[in-house]
Chain A
């Protein structure tokens, strides 16, 4: 273990290796998110993720936000275990009828001010699962949504961009339908 840790001291971080257009955009984004989050939320944005019935694809990419390439925590964003600690509810999936109440109760447990970000095509309107006897539909059918990030699933980069957009709008005091 010492060897690995020692190597890490001298190796450049993954986030700076082999810059490609994507990595460049990420660095640019890092600065912007940092400023907006600081103004509004004092250096922190706590996110509670709720899977309201997704296929797990969106969760995989949300996980990726925490890896060394995207390292979402350096922007002051972090995932928290309880909705009571959260500023943002990140909701995936078509909301299933079996999950509707759990989503409502999780939303109610988040203190104000709070924002809801719906992630993925299913979260907009049920996506390819719309019309099923077991599906309510999009997230906005159950809780008010401030922002939707499209994709099946959205890439980690798209999610970072989306969270930035949310911060800017929240900053301007505009409620987004």
Chain B
């Protein structure tokens, strides 16, 4: 069985690509890689386009090796990966929508992000005029006696992002759920093209509001890899502090929100208070409740002073004092457990096939956590556990978050204790030639991937892949045979990003 390294040797290696290799391969190697993905030997981390090229990021789960294979498609088509490996389906539909490149043999050729409202087709490739009339979107069918459809969205009942869910139900039981996304598509990758690094990192931080730190972090790491910059130690540690505060705030919010969707408002009320305490501490320490615009290529823009340090410590103490009682409350409330246990079960095989990241993967036996598996600094010097469960139900996804809150408290404490002194950043410099970089950062939801090519101080192409791409399809699978009323619960336990996915 060939390794990823062998695969790289089959192609033409791109010299200015860091830290993992990229090679331009021919169609037979591309197909071989698709076959290996389908066999489950490798994991698909991303698939994205350029006007006449497609790229695919692949990881060997056993060795944690990562490589990017690229295929030139001068005749505007390439062999479909999704035909063999379903996680690529929506990605290939998107490549078609944005670049006009067709995946040969793709079983589902419906548009995905393109709702025929942009006034243009293939906006990032060779543009052509939009179709004169929008064809109605054909939802997949379900057959059987007494089935009925429930259409939900794009405007939902709560304060959440827009998307459409089409349920087919038999009585109360969901027979099929099909998602339709793309409503929040803002053309971020189009805006990235030609942008300066300052503007690009600002955009990256606005891909998904709850992961603004993770995105700015991943973008900056990719840019630094491309430019071969060395980031000073203090900035590396401060970035981890920001990332852990973001994770802590989101997990606290989610634990409460999942319970709220089971009509258990008490947990929600208390968790929201703890979440608010983290946001307020972040505001004092870094000048913004969500910590926007702090991470930039080369380092960070704000230092942590003594007041910030103390307020974060005070928030940690408060959570350490109050959180255990909430965990106990969750664990001992039978009526709540009745809703979460055995609901929305994601089978480990599916989590592995889709390389599902974050608490979704880790609640279904997939131990991947970029902080541990890829061990980027400073996580290689920090002590923490990666909690993993196998049950895969709503309950397991809550418990993974609970454990990660506990780990987060410990991590933040360690970072504050060991924060090194020194400068906050290094100048990004100016390189005329094309240089490429890739980075993966563990956001609260899972692994955020950013790939980019810089030329002459500007972004020539940047692709940002949200973890939700490999989580949304699984939500369709887990809801099957659950009751409609449990959908909000399942959905919240996934908490996929609409904006991060639609981009």
* Mutual binders A and B: yes
Chain A residues within 8 Å of B, Cβ to Cβ: 1, 3-5, 14, 49-64, 66-69, 79, 81-83, 93-94, 96-102, 106, 128-129, 131-135, 152-153, 155
B191 interface residue (CB < 8 Å to A): yes
Known A133-B120, A133-B187; judge A102-B209 contact (CB<8 A).
no
Q: Is the CB of A57 within 8 A of B209?
A: yes
Report yes or no: A4 in contact with B162, Cβ–Cβ below 8 A.
no
In Å, the complex CA distance between A62 and B159 comes to: 8
Please tell me if the beta carbons of A55 and B276 are within 8 angstroms of each other in the complex. no
Whether the Cβ atoms of B184 and A99 lie closer than 8 Å is yes
CB distance from A90 to the nearest CB of B (A): 9
Option from B123, B190, B276, B329 in Cβ contact (under 8 Å) with A64: B276
> Given A55-B499, A132-B191, A4 and B202 touching (CB < 8 A)?
no
A57 touches which of B160, B212, B326 (Cβ 8 Å):
B212
- Measured in the bound complex, the distance between the Cα atoms of B187 and A167 in whole Å is 36
Q: Are B159 and A79 in contact (CB under 8 A)?
A: yes
Q: Is the CB of B157 within 8 A of A82?
A: yes
* Contact between A50 and B155, CB atoms less than 8 A apart: yes
Given contacts A62-B159, A83-B155, 18 further A-B contacts (CB under 8 A): A4-B270, A54-B161, A55-B212, A56-B209, A57-B209, A57-B212, A60-B209, A60-B210, A82-B157, A98-B115, A98-B185, A99-B162, A100-B117, A102-B155, A102-B183, A128-B202, A129-B186, A134-B187
Closest approach, in angstroms, between the C-beta of B246 and any C-beta of chain A?
A: 11
With A51-B184, A129-B187 in contact, is A68–B203 under 8 Å at CB?
Answer: no
B325 touches A135 (CB 8 A): no
**B184 CB contact (under 8 Å) in A14, A98, A153:** A98
Given A64-B279, A96-B185, A97-B117; A14-B273 close (CB under 8 Å)? yes
Known A-B contacts A54-B184, A57-B209, A57-B212; the reply to A106 vs B269 at CB < 8 A is no
Specify which chain B residues have a CB less than 8 angstroms from the CB of A98 in the assembled complex: 115, 117, 182-185
| A contact residues around B118 at 8 Å (CB) | 97, 133-134
Contacts of A128 in B (CB 8 A): 191, 199, 202-203, 206
Please, which residues of chain A bring their CB within 8 A of the CB of B272? Answer: 63-64, 66-68
Say yes or no for B83: interface residue by CB 8 A criterion: no
Contacts of A82 in B (CB 8 A): 157
Beta-carbon nearest neighbor of A66 in chain B: B272
Report whether B123 and A133 are in contact in the complex, using a CB–CB cutoff of 8 Å: yes
CA distance A96 to B161 in the complex (A): 12
B209, closest chain A residue (CB): A57
**Which of chain B's residues have a CB closer than 8 A to the CB of A132?**
186-188, 190-191
A67 contact set on B, CB distance < 8 A:
269, 272-273, 275-276
- CA–CA, A152 and B202, complex, Å: 11
With A55-B208, A56-B209, A63-B159 known as contacts, the answer to whether A135 contacts B289 (CB < 8 A) is no
User: Which of chain A's residues have a CB closer than 8 A to the CB of B155?
Assistant: 50, 83, 102, 106
- Whether the Cβ atoms of B209 and A59 lie closer than 8 Å is yes
- Given the interface pairs A50-B155, A96-B186, the reply to whether A56 lies near B161 with Cβ below 8 Å is yes
B325 x A57 contact (CB < 8 A): no
Which residues on A sit within 8 Å (CB–CB) of B123?
133-134
Report chain A residues within 8 Å CB of B120: 133
* Contact A94 B275, beta carbon cutoff 8 Å: no
For A102, list chain B residues within 8 Å (CB): 154-155, 162, 183
Q: Which chain B residue lies CB-closest to A61?
A: B289
CA gap between A106 and B162 in the complex, in Å: 12
* Contact (Cβ within 8 A) A135 B187: yes
- Pair A54/B289 contact, Cβ less than 8 Å: no
